[in-house]
Structure 1
Amino acid sequence: MEGRLLFLCAMVLCISITAMSVHCEYHKENPHHGHMKEKKTHLHFYLHDILSGKKPSAIMVAHTKTLIGINFATPFGTVYAIDDPLTEGPEPTSKVIGNAQGLYVSSAQDILSLVMYVDFAFTTGKYNGSSLSVFSRNPVMEGDREIAVVGGRGKFRMARGFAELKTTYFNTTNGDAIIEYKVTILHY
C-alpha cells in the first residue's frame, strides 16, 4: 500500500512539474508585430559592373589553376569582389543612387552563370541608409532573368522578393556590363 501511495505521489508531482508554466527571457513575442503593415515596393535602377580600366568596380580575388569550359572574361571557378555603382539610368554619367557590394562566383562550366552574394545599399533619396540582400543564381546569358531578394535592412527590414534583370550592355572580351534591375519586394 505504501508503495502505491509513494508511486501515486511521484506521478502527481511529475504531472504538476510538467504542467507548470516557465517564464524566461530567451524568447519574447513582439507586441508591435500585429501593428506592422507589410508594404510592397518597386525599384528600378542600373548596376555597372566594370572589370576593365584603371579603376574597376569588380576585381578577381580567387581563380582556379586551370581553365575549364568556355573561356569568358569570368571563367568557371573565379570569385570576384564587387563595389558596383547603382544609377538611375543606363548611362555611366547617370545619377548614382547607391552601390552593390559583395561577391560573385562564376559557377557554370559551359555557360556564363554566376552565384551572387550581394548587398544593394542605397545612398540617396527616400531609401538612403537602407539596403537589399541578394543570394541567388544569375544565368547571365539568358536575356531576361530573375534573382531572389532574401533580406534587407533599414526601410527594407525583413524584405523578400525578386529582381528581374536585363543586360543592357555586355562586353564579352573584358566582362564589363550594365544590368537593368526591376525589383519587387515585400517588407515592413
Structure 2
Amino acid sequence: MSKKEAIMAAARCSSFPALCVVAVLIGGAGAADEEAGLIHLHFYFHEVNAGTPNATVVNVASLHKNSSTFGDLNVLDNALRAGPDPASRLVGRAQGLALHASLDESGGLTAITFDFSDYGAYSGSTLATLGHIGVSGPAERSIVGGTGKLRFARGYMVSSLLSSTDTSIVVVFDMYFTLAR
C-alpha cells in the first residue's frame, strides 16, 4: 500500500484512529510518495510553560468553575527546532491558540500557524492547522492551507509528546501534505 493509499484509509477509519495513524507511519516516505507529491516535514515544538521566565504559552481566558479547565483559552508562540535539544537550530515558530473544549477534559481544539523561517526551500512559508488534541497519546490534526511555497497545502500532521518537565515540553511533529498543482 502506498502512503497516499494509507492516508485515504486513515481518513475513512473512524473506530480505530490510533491504529490508522500507526499504519500510515509504518510505511515511511519513499520515491513513490515523492512522485505522488506527498511532502513530509519533521521538527520539534518547544514550549515554555506559563508562569516561568520567557513563557511561550499563556492562559488568556479561564472560567475555572468547579476547578474545571473547560472553556480555558491559551495562546502560544513556540519555537520550532530541528532537534529535541533546546539549543538545536531554530527552524520557525508555532503561533496560535488552544481551547479546552471538552467537558470531560479529555482534549480540546487547536488552531496553529507554523511559520518556517529557516527550513530550506520552505523558509518564509507557513502551514495552517486545525483540529482536536487529546490529553494522551499521539494527536492527528488537519493541515488546511499554507502560504508561500506551501500555498494550498492539504494533509495532516501527527504530534507526540517527547519530553516534559515542570517548566517545558518538547513535542515531535511529522507533517504529511500535498500542494495543489
Consecutive unaligned residues of structure 1, counting only runs of 5 or more, are 1-36, 70-74
Cα 1:90–1:112 change in 2 (3 A) is farther
Contact 1:107–1:115 (CA<8 Å) still a contact in 2? yes
Q: Does 1:185 align with 2:177?
A: yes
Which amino acid in structure 2 is aligned with residue 186 of structure 1? T
Q: Does 1:168 align with 2:166?
A: no
Runs of 4 or more off by more than 6 Å in structure 1?
A: none
SS at match of 1:90: coil
Q: Which residue of 2 aligns with 1:63?
A: 62
Q: Which residue of 1 aligns with 2:53?
A: 54
Contact 1:38–1:187 (CA<8 Å) still a contact in 2? no
Q: Which residue of 2 aligns with 1:148?
A: 142
Which amino acid in structure 2 is aligned with residue 103 of structure 1? L
Instruction: Report how many residues are paired.
Output: 144
1:133-156: CA deviation from partner (whole Å, max 9, x where unpaired): 001111131x22211111111111
Q: Which residue of 2 aligns with 1:122?
A: 116
Larger Cα-atom Rg: 1
TM-score computed with the length of structure 2 as normaliser? 0.73
Distance in 2 (CA, whole Å) between partners of 1:162 and 1:39 is: 14
1:128-185: CA deviation from partner (whole Å, max 9, x where unpaired): 11010001111131x22211111111111111101111110134x66x3211001101
SS at match of 2:38: strand
Distance in 1 (CA, whole Å) between partners of 2:39 and 2:159 is: 16
Q: Map of 1:12-161 to 2, 5 A cutoff? A: 39-52=37-50, 53-69=52-68, 75-124=69-118, 125-141=120-136, 143-161=137-155
Stretch deviating more after TM superposition (37-46 or 144-153): 37-46
Distance in 2 (CA, whole Å) between partners of 1:130 and 1:65 is: 37
Distance in 1 (CA, whole Å) between partners of 2:132 and 2:155 is: 14
Which amino acid in structure 2 is aligned with residue 130 of structure 1? S
Give the Å deviation of 1:76: 2.2
Greater relative contact order (Cα < 8 A, sep 6+): 1
Consecutive unaligned residues of structure 2, counting only runs of 5 or more, are 1-34
SS at match of 1:116: strand
Distance in 2 (CA, whole Å) between partners of 1:140 and 1:134 is: 18
TM-score computed with the length of structure 1 as normaliser? 0.70
SS at match of 1:39: coil
Identical-residue share of aligned pairs (%): 28
Give the Å deviation of 1:65: 4.1
Cα 1:122–1:152 change in 2 (3 A) is same
Contact 2:153–2:177 (CA<8 Å) still a contact in 1? yes
Pairwise CA RMSD of aligned residues? 1.9
Which amino acid in structure 2 is aligned with residue 40 of structure 1? L
